Structures are given as C-alpha cells and as structure tokens.
Structure 1
Amino acid sequence: MRGLLAFAAKEPVLSVLVVALIALQCLHPRPWTTLPALVDWQTVLTLTGLLILTKAVESSGFLMWMAHRVVHRIQSERGLAYLMIGLAAALSTLLTNDVALFVVVPLTLSLHKLTPLPIRRLVIFIALAVNAGSILTPLGNPQNLFLWQTSGVSFIRFVWALGPLCAALMVMLYLLTAAAFRAKPLDLSKDVEPHPVDRPLVGVAALLFVAFVLLADVHHAGIGVAGVGIGFLLWRSKIVLKIDWLLLLIFVFMFIVLRSVAALPWVQEVIGQIGLQTPLRAYAAGAILSQGISNVPAAIMLAEFTKDWRALAFGVSVGGFGIAIGSLANLIAVRLSKERGMWLQFHLFSMPFWIASGIVGGWLLLHL
C-alpha cells in the first residue's frame, strides 16, 4: 500500500487518470475491449518516434556543447535572457518543449554557479518561451502533435496557420524581457569545462529525424517508429530504454478517459448549450479549459466537439500560459529550477501574459 501511495505521489497525472477510468467504468460501464479504439494510435506512434529521436540528440551531448559555445558571446544579463529565451523557443519547435527545458534550464543553472543571475525570473521566462516557441510546428508540443495528426493537414500548412500567433507571442515576450532584465555586465570566462559530443550519434539522429517527420507527415508514423526503434535497439539500446514510457502510457489513458467523458450525455448537453460552432468560441473554450485540466487534455476533449483545428490550436496554445497547470512544461521548469518561491513569481508574470496573449490570439484568429 505504501509503495502504491509513493507511486501515486510521484506520478499524479497517471494516477488520476487510472482512478478516473475505474470510476467511469463503474458509473457508465462499456466493454473493456472497446477502450483501445478510443486511442489515437497515430498520435501515440508519432510521439514515440519523437521521444526516441530527441533522446538520441540529447544523449549525444551536442545541444549542451552548442549552448555553452553560444553563451560566451553574451556580455550582459539582458543579453543572456534574450539568448536563453531564443534558444529555448528555437529548440522547442523541433525537439518539443519538454526537451528544450531539459537542455536550457540545466544550462542556466550551471551558468548561475559561475556568475549571479536572477535565476527564478530567468527560468520563468524560459518556461514562457518554450510555450510560445513550440506553437510554431506540429512537433513543438503534444497538443500540436495530436491536432496535426487528427486534422490531416500537411506539416507546412500547420506551420503557416500557427506562425502568426507564435511570432506575435515571441515579440510580446521579448518586449517583456527588455523591461524585466537589466543590462548588467556578466563575466562567464570561468565556463571552460569541456563538453564532448558523440558525432556519429547526433549525425544519425539528425538524418532519421528528417525521415521520420516526412513519414509522419503522410501518416506512416508506424513505419517510422519501427525503423527508428529497431535501429536504435540494435545500435544504442539505452536510448530506447531511457525514453519516457510513462508519458506514452499517460497519453493512452488520456485518450480513453477524456473521450469517454466527452461521450457522456450530460457532457454532450452542456457543451451543446455552450456551442463551439464559431472559431471564437472554440478558441475561448481551449484557452479557458486549459487553465483547469492543462492544454493537452483540453485539446483531446474539445476535439470531440469542434472540427476547427486552427481555432482549437490557437486556444490551447494560449492556454499554456496563465495558471501553471495550463502546460506541463510550466511544471517541469519549476521542478527543474529547485528554487523556493517560484510559484508566486511565476503567476505574477504568466497571468498577465495569458490575458494579453488571449486578446492578441483572438484578434489574429479573426483577422488572418
């Protein structure tokens, strides 16, 4: 019993989903054999391939090597903030927002040991940056990945549709950064620790990354996962074994639970009364519901009630700001920082940013 409670405390999202599924099966039972059909396996397969490839890039050491090389060109606190935000946003477009955080936040913490930095504020802005930057591509975050696969649109069309929102939010974030950080001189000359790179690994991962995205774009992610998975199991098995398998399990349960909830008569009635027929309503629903259940579950649930993938993508993207639970990336960033007093300061920046981005996103949705 004690071990079960310890697991629940360590993996609260998965635990809540399991309890919710049991409750749903007790209150509104459906044959267990029908549950796998509720899962969007194309999305799960695409996420699996991306997890393997991003773990390979991360394990190669290339990202940390590149980051340390770049920071030596920075001479001020504000310049470092600009760089960290740009780096986090850029990495999140292709390597997902979680991977970007696992590279940029530890890098920032290591630099903090060399020279004093406003570390809490910097980590908060990095979290905002991965949420804003990851909007651009289908690979940037799980909700984009899901909407890309279910909408059937091409990779290029998705980027074209979400590009204006990403650009607007990044401009807003940089303006806020200019006001929040000083032009205080920095001395990073002590950062001389070597960072070796596994060149064969990063080279193979880069080639496979391009091939996998092309396969996923034509909805053949299963073939891509088979090739990537078998290849790395034979060559570097630790990479496959070390990916976040629990995240994939969470996604499977999320599809089953949220689609089961969406099928409940009273939920259908409530959503029907609200009505998601217009783009603005679908957008607002995504932005607001994300504040309560996070943007990935919000996207999965609301997709049952609207086919306007663009409006929904805008909404759940904006929903990643605001309350910390709006995006799992926020929780990861705060956890990685290990700094006290993060929650209050996080919301002092994220809540106004959510409101402002909500207004800007709504205007772009209606006028572009």
Structure 2
Amino acid sequence: MPVAERTPKASRSIIREVFAFATKEPVLSVLIVALIVLQCLHPRPWASLPALVDWQTVLTLAGLLILTKAVELSGFLIWMAHRVVHRIHSERGLAFLMIGLAAALSTLLTNDVALFVVVPLALSLHKLTPLPLKRLVIFIALAVNAGSILTPLGNPQNLFLWQTGGVSFGAFVLGLAPLCIALMVVLYLMAAVFFRGKALDFSKDVEPHPVDRPLVGIAAVLFVAFVLLADAHHAAIGLAGVGLGFLLWRPRVVLQIDWPLLLIFVFMFIVLRSVAALPWIHETISRFDIGGSPLHAYAAGAVLSQGISNVPAAIMLAEFTKDWRALAFGVSVGGFGIAIGSLANLIAVRLSNERGMWLQFHLFSIPFWIVGGTIGAGLLLH
C-alpha cells in the first residue's frame, strides 16, 4: 500500500485513540490540555514542574490505593455487607444501614472505594426485592461525602490537607468530627422522612460470597502500619514496603489500582499551582482575604468546589491560607450541592445506571449543601 494511502488511515487511528482516551479519562485529558496551554502562554522550565507536586500526598494516596484494592479484591466487604443486610426488615432500616455502612467505609477506604462496595450491593438487593433505588443511591452518595469528612483517609482533599497542614492524625479527626457528626445527623433525619417502614424480604439472598482471608488479614495489618508511617511523614517507606510486598505476593493488587487517579493528582498540583501563581489570578483571589479570616476560607472552599470540584479547590486555595481546618470545612461542604462538587457524586450516579438521576440528585444535594453550609459556618465560629 502506498505511503500516501497509509498516512490518512494512521492519522484517523491516532485521532480515534486520542478521542477514546479523552472520553475514558476526561479529567486527566482536561488537565493535560490545560498544562499545554499554560506552558504556551506562561512558560515555565519543564524541569521545574515536578517541584510543584506535593509528593508526600501522592505517595500516601498510592499506598492507600494499593491497600484498599487488596481489601476490595479479598471479597470481605461484600461478604460482610450481605451478612449484615439479613438483619434488616424494613425499607427505612435498610436505608439507615446503607447510610451507616457507606459512611463508615469511607472513613478508612475513601469515599470512592465505599461507593464501589455499597452501590453494587444496593443494585444486587434491588434484584431481590423492590427498592427506591434512585433515592437510596443518592443517600449513599451523600453518606460517603459526609462520612469521609472525619479522617485524613476519607477523601483526597483531606489527605492533602492532612499532609500539608502539619497536624497529627488524631488532631485532624478531632478538628473535623463536629462537622461530620452534624451532617450525619441531618442525613439520618432526612432518611427517616424519605424512606418508608415498608417490610422487605431478602430470603432469596443465598448466593455464597467467598473471602480471601489471608489477603484481607495481611491488608488490615499493613493498613495500620502504613497509616502510622504516613502520620510520621514516612509515606515513601510505607509505599515501598506495601508495593513491593504485594508485587511479589499478589501482583494483581498493584496492577489493578486506579493509576489514572495518581496521574490526575500529579497534573492537578502542577496545573492548579501554576494557575494560582498567575499574577491576575493571585491578585483576584487575594482580594477576598482568604488567609485573613476562617469564614472567608470556608466560604471560598464551599463555593469554589461547586465549579471545579472540592479536590482542585483545596489544592488551589491552600496557596492562599494556612487555616487547614477552615479550608477542610469549606471543601467538605463543597462536596454537596452541584454534582461536580465531588467526584464521588459522579461515580455514584454512573454506577446506578438509572435514568433521571441527575435531577433527583440535585433535588436532595442542593438543599443539603445549603443546610450543611449553614451548619459548617456555625461550627467554625464556635
């Protein structure tokens, strides 16, 4: 075949591959394009870009991704969830359980991982008995966002603020506990209103759920060790031990983690810190005196998250304030409201695969953002 004929076909193939990648990883694609644009308009030496990345946060995230993937692949979470469900006899009781389970898992396994456990569980239970599936998935999404507020491991923005804030694990938990508890109380009150006491029958749920006990046991021990090392700012040592150990013993645990998420974090640090350093951006944000008032930092986090999501908001605003607690309050509340406020919202809606989810989601999430925002401001002032 002549070269002239092969070239258009090769070009079309490359375009298709680029389009497929952009469709599969839209956030990463946007960040790559943004970096290219920034380098064209306001170039920095390429060798200086890695210095913009908070590698301590990235290394900690990598270790947690490996450990949570090990727990997920062990089958323990699904086994436990199905065992617990058989103690529930009503729609409202199931909602209470799923909210609590989602929130509890999110405190240690991150909000995204909690969704990948609890939403599929809800879908499988819906096949056994009729459930208000859309509403249940929405409340699960709200629960992982509310529950993940409690610990540095709950979500990426907490992990970042914990590593950069210079506080201990315990101090972080104590600082965020009031907001987490208050939002969970509101969520349970809403669940009591919007779910009925209708009887449920799960007697058909007899399918076995095998558990890889050695895998979950080793993962649990390593989880504690890794958190202690990360708390002492030795995440690199912890990651080396966890990564090499699983590569030698169970390589699929390492191979199946969310590698694009790590790349997203690397590019997010580079792009957002580059943007924050632009003179006109820096001047505009500085006018709001975010660093001079906890309420200003809080409001900025809660509002900016509605436009760019709470993880990017935390990274960008951390350049203008050292008040980690006010910023953590703000971006935590910012996870509610518009769906883009937290990537967990988008994951939940996508996993449900239900039509009409977007409208119903916002009918619950936007009022919750308003109420949560008011509560957060009140707690911050006290």
Higher Rg: 2
Matched residues in 1 for 2:273 and 2:64: separation? 24
Quote how far apart the aligned CAs of 1:273 are. Answer: 1.1
Q: Show the counterpart of 1:34.
A: 48
Alignment partner, residue 357 of structure 2: 342
Partner SS for 2:287: helix
In structure 2, what is the equivalent of residue 88 of structure 1? 102
Distance 2:349 2:211 in 1: 28
What displacement does 1:180 show?
0.6
Q: Counterpart in 2 of 1:312?
A: 327
Partner AA of 2:381 in structure 1: L
For 1:17, what is the secondary structure of its paired residue? helix
Tell me how far apart the structure 1 counterparts of residues 19 and 288 of structure 2 sit (CA, whole Å): 38
| Residue of structure 1 equivalent to 2:307 | 292
Aligned residue in 1 for 2:146: 132
1:244 is displaced (CA, Å) by 0.4
Deviations 1:214-241 (A, max 9, x none): 0000000000000000000000000000
Question: What is residue 164 of structure 2 aligned with on the other side?
Answer: 150
CA RMSD for the aligned pairs?
Answer: 0.4
Alignment partners' CA distance in 2, 1:47 and 1:272? 30
Q: 1:50 aligns with which of 60, 64, 69?
A: 64
Q: In 2, distance between residues paired with 1:278 and 1:313?
A: 14
1:327 aligns with 2:376: no
Shift of 1:3: 1.3
1:21 Cα shift? 0.2
- In structure 1, distance between residues paired with 2:101 and 2:282: 42
Deviates more, 1:268-277 or 1:84-93: 268-277
CA distance, structure 2, for counterparts of residue 31 and residue 153 of structure 1: 33
- Residue 364 (structure 1) shift: 0.2
Q: Does 1:65 align with 2:59?
A: no
Q: Distance in 2 between matches of 1:274 and 1:146?
A: 23
Deviations 1:113-161 (A, max 9, x none): 0000000000000000000000000000000000000011000000000
Cα deviation 1:2-21 (Å, max 9, x = unaligned): 11011111111001000100
Aligned to 2:293, which of 258, 263, 278? Answer: 278
Q: CA deviation at 1:272?
A: 1.3
1:115 and 2:115 correspond: no
Match of 1:243 in 2: 257
How far did 1:104 drift? 0.2
**Equivalent AA in structure 1 for residue 330 of structure 2:** G
3-state DSSP class of the match of 1:305?
A: coil
Tell me the residue number matched to 1:225.
239
Specify the alignment match of 1:190 in structure 2.
204
The equivalent position to 1:11 in structure 2, one of 25, 33, 49, is 25
Identity of aligned residues (%): 83
Aligned partner of 1:178 in structure 2 is: 192
1:105 and 1:91 map into 2 onto residues whose CA distance is 12
1:160-191 Cα deviation digits (max 9, x unpaired): 00000000000000000000100000000000
The one-letter amino acid paired with 1:353 is F
1:28 Cα deviation after fit: 0.3
TM norm structure 1: 0.99
Give, in angstroms, the shift of residue 275 of structure 1: 1.2
1:78 aligned partner: 92
Q: Which runs of 5+ in 1 are unaligned?
A: none
Amino acid of the residue matched to residue 335 of structure 1?
R
Q: Give the Cα–Cα distance (whole angstroms) in 1 for the partners of residues 173 and 311 of structure 2.
A: 18
Aligned to 1:351: 366
Amino acid corresponding to residue 65 of structure 2 in structure 1: L
User: Could you say which residue in structure 2 is the equivalent of 1:102?
Assistant: 116
Q: Distance in 2 between matches of 1:352 and 1:2?
A: 41
- CA–CA separation in structure 2 for the residues paired with 1:273 and 1:72: 56
Unaligned residue ranges in structure 2 (runs of 5+) = 1-14
1:302 equivalent among 297, 317, 320: 317
Residues 191-210 of structure 1 aligned to structure 2 (within 5 Å): 191-210=205-224
Aligned to 1:258: 272
Instruction: Give the Cα separation in 2 of the matches to 1:67 and 1:132.
Output: 20
Shift of 1:293: 0.2
Letter in structure 1 aligned against 2:38: L
User: Deviating runs (4+, > 2 A) in structure 1?
Assistant: none
**TM-score, normalization: structure 2?**
0.96
Task: Figure out how many residues of one structure are paired with residues of the other and give that number.
Answer: 367
